[in-house]
Structure 1
Amino acid sequence: MSQLPDFPPVIPPDEEFRRRATAWRSDIPTEFGMPNRSLGRLEQLGAWLAACQSTVPPRPLTDVQLVVVGGTHGVARTHPEISALPETFSQDVLAAISQGRSPLLSAATAEGIRVSVRDADSSHPSGSIDYEDAMTSAELFEYMSRGIEIADDLADQGTQLVLLGDAGRGVTTVAAAIIGSICSIEPVKVVGRGSGISDEAWKTKTAVIRDAMYRVRDDKADASRILRRIGSPDFATLAGLLAQCSVRRTPVLFDGVGTTAAALCAQMMVPGAADWWIAASAGDEPAHVPALKALRKEPLLTSGIGTGQGLGAILAFPLLRHAVDALNFESHDTPMTSELD
């Protein structure tokens, strides 16, 4: 077993406040046009946030931050044909976000979401997972610890909700290998087109994932070994961040097949961590939906967004905000007026 940082037991969201939120919602008079249970998923989300905050109604989400974790993967350098993206893609994306040139910033700004990036180590790609380990045990510990530090900083700043996204050339290959291994799915059923690769490149990508999965065929019950052997620094950072957010009682809205693969590992290493997470979207990668099912997560969006970088989380965030608004509806005591009257 690989050496891991120490994680305290995760305290789950407060079920008493989840029940109180449900009761609070049912007390809103039907004459205001929102009968009980009529808001569907929004009611569940509002109750979840109330449980996370231990307050009813939940506080409005005014301090929200998107963290994009990027990295470079050795397998994409060894087999450049498995990605149609340029070799410098990871660095380019993180630089564009940092310098305010990324298109996703306009969407984030419109929702009042702060954005930050973390380079897991794009200048030193991991090992090529089809024939060598991605990291040493010491490196796994280091990168997971970096994720823990990020989560602690966010919690200490009073961040109410963390949005989480991935970025990097080769992300879908690494994610497919991890998900296929943990979920026992054959390679051909988890490999996708990623950045839009050709048929020949798809065959190479399938072979790479097959070889990576074969290397960890006896390790599928040990997420730390899978992460160390066929993961990467950015996946380890994401796993540490996700787990520590749960320890610090900071809810997370996560997006991207890479982040989802890291979430699978984090939940296996830190049981109960997933109670603090919501899945933003299900992209078009074949591995994504099985991984979400393994996490027992129903995505808020099913629009096939495969951009990564947390874009799906930005687009899904308004649903959480409206879920809070529904529970902060002041109809319990104060009648509302309409311009139509």
Structure 2
Amino acid sequence: MATSGLPFDDFRELLRTLPGPHEQAEAAVRARESTLIKPPGALGRLEEISAWLAAWSGHAPAVTRPLVAVFAGNHGVARKGVSPFPADVTQQMVANFAAGGAAINQICVANDLGLKVFDLALELPTGDITEEAALGERDCAATMAFGMESIAGGTDLLCIGEMGIANTTVAAAICHGLFGGSARDWVGPGTGATGEGLERKIAAVEAAVACHRAHLNDPLEVLRRLGGREIAAMAGAILAARTQRIPVVLDGYVTTAAAAVLFAANEHALDHCLVGHVSAEPGHRRLLEKLGKTPLLELGMRLGEGTGAALAAGIVKAAAACHTGMATFEQAGVSDKG
């Protein structure tokens, strides 16, 4: 993606000119829904998912090329002891994804989903957000552009996930910077921080927001100062999916925090996104309230990796299959309600 002028100019323009829903495709689905061989509304939220798929793809509901995209990054703030695990676990987990040994691998196999994992310069952690910006402007813009280009292979349902030691600290800082409250409102255990470790995490989020407070009126500045490479790449992928009419399923707290940056810039920027699940990480529920999003699943999960989004993709696939495969009352020779 070529940029012109300042590094974020093209992204600001995209956020101002996002395409809206395909109203004719959505109307056609709703009209057909009323003829299917079932009582009105009997499939509950599956019916809304079918209409959502049509609205944001521009055609009848179909999921034939679903993709889970997992973005991995490392964070300088990990040096502050905010996670029980060292930063090199990020690289080790990326290797595990490649070997097929992670939870996301099994869920993708079970739901017949493609999987791509993107290693975002793991050998170069971002700046420590308690002391400096995570990324320079050009680095952040380039990473967003990489995220946009990462889905170029084609998909009709994009599930977005992440991996990165300390990235729940980063997610909490982004949410605190965008939506206020206290650091304690947004910080949770992540990979298992408790006691003094949890207090260090809260202190790091407080220090990060205080360090960058003068610049937090601009959502893209929040992203580059408090975020990370996987956060920027996920924001880019979500934005690209909108321009290419690809419906998106978001994973947990960290993924939704990346999406929240776009929402803060344009309150309609996430209309093409469903949230796969609500994480056990407490800040996620608070964040979904801010975004006005209702998750599909609540399973007490907090693993990341795109696991909640991938599980929800099975529901989205089922919604599309029900809508397109069910007979109408007329086709089945069954009497409709009088």
Q: Does 1:18 align with 2:18?
A: no
> Which residue number in structure 1 is paired with residue 84 of structure 2?
84
Pairing of 1:152-171 with structure 2 (within 5 A): 153-154=152-153, 157=154, 159-171=155-167
In structure 2, distance between residues paired with 1:219 and 1:304: 35
> Which residue number in structure 1 is paired with residue 58 of structure 2?
54
Residue 145 and residue 254 in structure 1: after superposition, are their counterparts in 2 closer, same or farther (change >3 A)?
same
Question: Secondary structure of the residue that 1:67 maps to in structure 2?
Answer: strand
Question: Secondary structure of the residue that 1:262 maps to in structure 2?
Answer: helix
How many residues are aligned here?
325
In structure 1, distance between residues paired with 2:175 and 2:120: 21
> Which residue number in structure 2 is paired with residue 40 of structure 1?
44
In structure 1, distance between residues paired with 2:217 and 2:268: 16
Q: Cα RMSD over matched residues?
A: 1.9
- Which of 169, 179, 185 lines up with 2:181 in the alignment? 185
Using the TM superposition, give the Cα deviation of residue 40 of structure 1 relative to its aligned residue in structure 2, in angstroms.
Answer: 1.4
In structure 2, distance between residues paired with 1:50 and 1:330: 19
TM-score (norm 2): 0.91
- Which of 197, 205, 211 lines up with 1:209 in the alignment? 205
In structure 2, distance between residues paired with 1:221 and 1:299: 28
Using the TM superposition, give the Cα deviation of residue 332 of structure 1 relative to its aligned residue in structure 2, in angstroms.
Answer: 4.4
In structure 2, distance between residues paired with 1:271 and 1:11: 13
Q: Deviations over 1:272-328 (max 9, x none)?
A: 331111111111222212222222211111222110000001111121112112211
> Which residue number in structure 2 is paired with residue 27 of structure 1?
35
> Which residue number in structure 1 is paired with residue 332 of structure 2?
335
TM-score (norm 1): 0.90
In structure 2, distance between residues paired with 1:21 and 1:149: 30
Q: Partner letter of residue 244 of structure 1?
A: A
Contact 2:35 2:328 in 1 (8 A): no
Q: Deviations over 1:152-184 (max 9, x none)?
A: x14xx3x11011101110010000000111111
Pairing of 1:254-265 with structure 2 (within 5 A): 254-265=250-261
Question: Secondary structure of the residue that 1:281 maps to in structure 2?
Answer: coil
Q: Where does structure 1 lack aligned partners over 5 or more consecutive residues?
A: none
> Which residue number in structure 2 is paired with residue 97 of structure 1?
97
Q: Deviations over 1:106-161 (max 9, x none)?
A: 2211211011100122110011111111111111111111111113x14xx3x110
> Which residue number in structure 2 is paired with residue 199 of structure 1?
195
Q: Does 1:311 align with 2:307?
A: yes
In structure 2, distance between residues paired with 1:216 and 1:336: 66
In structure 2, distance between residues paired with 1:174 and 1:2: 25
Using the TM superposition, give the Cα deviation of residue 270 of structure 1 relative to its aligned residue in structure 2, in angstroms.
Answer: 5.4
Q: Does 1:229 align with 2:225?
A: yes
In structure 1, distance between residues paired with 2:250 and 2:144: 17
Q: Partner letter of residue 162 of structure 1?
A: L
- Which of 251, 269, 279 lines up with 1:283 in the alignment? 279
Using the TM superposition, give the Cα deviation of residue 214 of structure 1 relative to its aligned residue in structure 2, in angstroms.
Answer: 1.3
In structure 2, distance between residues paired with 1:183 and 1:269: 12
In structure 2, distance between residues paired with 1:268 and 1:246: 16
Q: Partner letter of residue 251 of structure 2?
A: D
| Greater mean deviation of Cα atoms: 176-185 or 17-26 | 17-26
Q: Where does structure 2 lack aligned partners over 5 or more consecutive residues?
A: none
Contact 1:111 1:318 in 2 (8 A): yes
